[in-house]
Chains A and B, each alone.
Chain A
Amino acid sequence: MTETTTAAVGDRVVHKQFPAISRHRLALYCGASGDHNPIHVDIDFAKASGFPDVFSHGMLVMGYLGQALSDAFPPDRIRAFSTRFSAITQVGAELTCEGTIAELFEAGGERRARLTLTTKDQHGETKLAGEAVVALS
């Protein structure tokens, strides 16, 4: 967990790597999330829609980033969390999630930090770019 009393702008406070995303993982995530869009599991549907293969739910990728975030900050300290899905995440992607402190400020009677977040695959391609606001104390 992040030592919140000494937090400084530029600190890397979130860092976690995840295993390669398998087709099985995509099938599990359909059930876990209620998102049954066949584009994530049915290659015939994906091809008919103009894609070469199935690809990951954006929210599975954001779920990994959320896990990296709440490893560093308990969920009740997370005030906001947002991402832009920059690129499709392919089967086999090995994701690394990173977060650094971009700003320290006070709001709602709390010391808060704004974090800049990214998720990249093993080739360094950015899949998600996001930010979060967390309470430090």
Chain B
Amino acid sequence: MVDQSAVGRRFTPVTAQVEPGRLRYFFETLGESNPVYRDAAAATAACYRGIPIPPTYLFCLEMLDNEKSFEFLTALDIDLGRVLHGEQSFVYHAPVVVGDTLTFSPRVASVTDKKGGAMTLIVVETAVTNQDGVHVADTARTIVVRNG
């Protein structure tokens, strides 16, 4: 069971490229047709410096380019079949567009037992910076581990 010793633990930073082909596949999967995402000319006309990314795509980039998939689960000895995604948040500080290179730096922010230890909530916060060192976003995920 994950305990308080995990709090503050940092995991290997992930460097991710915002690639147009993979982003297009994401759009196909979700049936996204908004021209600002699908058409570079439309994005430029709307004053973007490139094709912007959709609101949840930062979460995907961190997983897509992680050399150690589910690193934090294995590092904390958590069974993949016992986790659920409880909450997710994004705070956006600056735009991200196709062609950017992002660095994700995750750390465990809190560990909380619930229901007499039947569940443990783990919050992982990730700071995201771009190739110019601009802090573009902060994300936080709450993972629910079923201990029973």
Q: How many A-B residue pairs have CB under 8 A?
A: 115
Question: Which residue on chain B has the smallest CB distance to residue A35?
Answer: B63
B residues in contact with A39, CB < 8 Å? 80-81
Question: Which residue on chain B has the smallest CB distance to residue A84?
Answer: B87
Are A85 and B25 closer than 8 Å at their CB atoms?
A: no
Q: How many residues of B contact A (CB 8 A)?
A: 43
Interface membership of B112, Cβ < 8 A: no
Are A67 and B30 closer than 8 Å at their CB atoms?
A: yes
Q: Secondary structure of the A side of the interface?
A: helix
Question: Which segment, of A74-82, A99-107, A118-126, faces chain B?
Answer: A74-82
Are B85 and A63 closer than 8 Å at their CB atoms?
A: no
Question: What CA separation (Å) do A62 and B26 show in the bound complex?
Answer: 13
Question: What CA separation (Å) do A29 and B80 show in the bound complex?
Answer: 18
B residues in contact with A34, CB < 8 Å? 60-66, 69
Q: How many residues of A contact B (CB 8 A)?
A: 42
Question: What CA separation (Å) do A19 and B146 show in the bound complex?
Answer: 31
Question: What CA separation (Å) do A18 and B32 show in the bound complex?
Answer: 11
Partner of B31, one of A18, A36, A85: A18
Interface residues of A in 48-85 (CB under 8 A from B): 48-50, 57-60, 62-64, 66-67, 69-71, 74-76, 78-85
Are A80 and B64 closer than 8 Å at their CB atoms?
A: no
Interchain Cβ contacts under 8 Å between A and B, 7 examples: A32-B60, A37-B80, A58-B85, A62-B56, A81-B55, A82-B87, A85-B88
* Chain A residues proximal to chain B, CB less than 8 Å: 18-19, 25, 28-29, 31-39, 45, 48-50, 57-60, 62-64, 66-67, 69-71, 74-76, 78-85, 88
